[in-house]
Amino acid sequence: MSAERTPVQEKHRQSAGAPAEMDHCPLMPTYGPPPVMFTRGEGAYLFDRQDKRYLDFLSGLAVTSLGHAHPAVAEAIAEQATRLLHVSNLYATEHNWVVAGEIDKLIGDGTPVGGQVFFCNSGAESNEAAIKLARRFGGHGRHVVVAAFDSFHGRTLATLAATGQPAKWETFQPLPEGFRHAIWNDLADLERQLDDTTAAVLLEPVQGEGGVNPATIEYFQGVRRLCDERGMLMMVDEVQTGFARTGRWFGFQHFDLLPDVVTMAKALGNGMPIGACWAKREVAAAFQPGDHATTYGGQPMATSAARAVLETMQAIDAPFLARSAGAEIMRSVATLPQVNDVRGLGLLLAVELDGIDARVAAAKCLDAGLVVNGVTATALRLAPPLIITPEHVAEAVAILGGVLDELSA
């Protein structure tokens, strides 16, 4: 079947590199037309089809925290690919129990907690596991999960229902029931949403997609206290914040407390798809064999990558790198005249622009060789790899400063 291409479809086809004789783009239009095709990466840099170089200050949305083509991760994947890709979770494999143990130790900031891990393939799946665990733990009649407005927890039906952005719900109604939302960083409003049907509270330590808004220490500590008082689970979504991104191994560690359940994904595989749901052992014990499962979760290919990621991150003290580079970016970006404010933690930052459309600024930065994205209409998100040097920061600030000068001229 041949159809006329719309201009958007034509742009999509061209930027995807599809041949001109193709009468339609073979990809579903869930994303806008991609502005560039990247063909390789090296450390903090990406290269397109013409070998133009870009400084990557987005890391594939906080995924490639060790940079592109990291030798230790590449070697682990290549070596595993020649030995064993998959056998199913009916059998043991070499890496998943090691990675689970390392995650448990990092949750305890260096001291094992004794919790347990369920592996899956994405952030949404890690939250699905947490939601099912909360329902299993709560028991019949106690299944409600309270999340925050402006949160983001994924795009499956249940994680979309958990996501506190009503505009994203409408076209997909009816969504699974059992979710309620409270105003972000407002403990009194959260308390009003709790009753004896509530199994758990699910929160990000820094709302990433919602605009890079960190929780306050009073809020998180208050949530921990409410959950303790009422026997509810405190579940923290660390999919974007986990693995040193915020300057601690996990974002909740800024608040001096231990959640009951922690979900993670993005940076764990440095680009290899892998997610995980960690829970305290007495909580994990609510799951019985057969309650939850996945074909691919925890398979050797993904866990070999994760093992190399966690070894490397500990060897280079990734949280320290995120703290120092984050402070450096905050200092120098704040000197740009078109910048109102820089917020965030570690290397998860939002740059609030003065009267400049963030999406326009992000597109201009891309043209100028800097990858960032507009996280709100007025703010750019910076989530560079944790391995960036002061030279990378200077280069990024020079490009950004030039773009902002041009746009405000």
Ligand X SMILES: *Cc1c(COP(=O)(O)O)cnc(C)c1O
CB of 239 to ligand X, least distance (A): 4
Instruction: Give 180 or 392: the residue with its C-beta nearer to ligand X.
Output: 180
* Sign of the dihedral through C-alpha 83, 85, 87, 92: positive
Q: Which of 248, 177, 168 is nearest to 209 (CA)?
A: 168
Q: 328 φ, ψ to 5°?
A: -60, -45
Q: Given the DSSP bridges, would you call strands 144-148 and 198-203 parallel, antiparallel or unpaired?
A: parallel
CB of 241 to ligand X, least distance (A): 7
Q: Given the DSSP bridges, would you call strands 116-120 and 275-279 parallel, antiparallel or unpaired?
A: antiparallel
Distance CA 102, CA 351 (A): 33
- Residue 326 has, within 13 A of its CA and on its CB side, a CA count of 23
Residue nearest to ligand X (CB): 123
CB of 276 to ligand X, least distance (A): 12
Instruction: Give 339 or 371: the residue with its C-beta nearer to ligand X.
Output: 371
135, 143 contact by CB (below 8 A):
yes
CB of 122 to ligand X, least distance (A): 3
Instruction: Give 276 or 358: the residue with its C-beta nearer to ligand X.
Output: 276
59, 384 contact by CB (below 8 A):
yes
Match 């109604």 to its residue by tokens: 173
Instruction: Give 263 or 332: the residue with its C-beta nearer to ligand X.
Output: 263
Return the structure tokens found at 72.
């230790």
CB of 182 to ligand X, least distance (A): 17
CB of 251 to ligand X, least distance (A): 10
Instruction: Give 80 or 151: the residue with its C-beta nearer to ligand X.
Output: 151
CB of 180 to ligand X, least distance (A): 18
Secondary structure letter of residue 352 according to DSSP: E
Q: Identify the helix (H) or strand (E) that includes residue 217.
A: helix 217-230
Instruction: Give 152 or 243: the residue with its C-beta nearer to ligand X.
Output: 152
Instruction: Give 123 or 164: the residue with its C-beta nearer to ligand X.
Output: 123
Q: Which of 331, 268, 321 is nearest to 95 (CA)?
A: 268
Instruction: Give 269 or 392: the residue with its C-beta nearer to ligand X.
Output: 269
CB of 240 to ligand X, least distance (A): 3
Instruction: Give 124 or 397: the residue with its C-beta nearer to ligand X.
Output: 124
Instruction: Give 125 or 260: the residue with its C-beta nearer to ligand X.
Output: 125
Q: Which residues contact 34 (CB under 8 A, 6 or more apart)?
A: 12, 15, 16
List, as one string, the DSSP characters of 279-295.
E-HHHHTT--TTSS--S
Applying CB under 6 A, the residues found at the interface with ligand X are 122-124, 127, 152-154, 204, 208-209, 237, 239-240, 265
Q: Identify the helix (H) or strand (E) that includes residue 169.
A: helix 166-169
Secondary structure letter of residue 69 according to DSSP: T
CB of 123 to ligand X, least distance (A): 2
Q: Identify the helix (H) or strand (E) that includes residue 304.
A: helix 300-315
CB of 101 to ligand X, least distance (A): 23
Distance CA 228, CA 238 (A): 20
104, 112 contact by CB (below 8 A):
yes
Return the structure tokens found at 64.
């490639």
Distance CA 381, CA 348 (A): 7
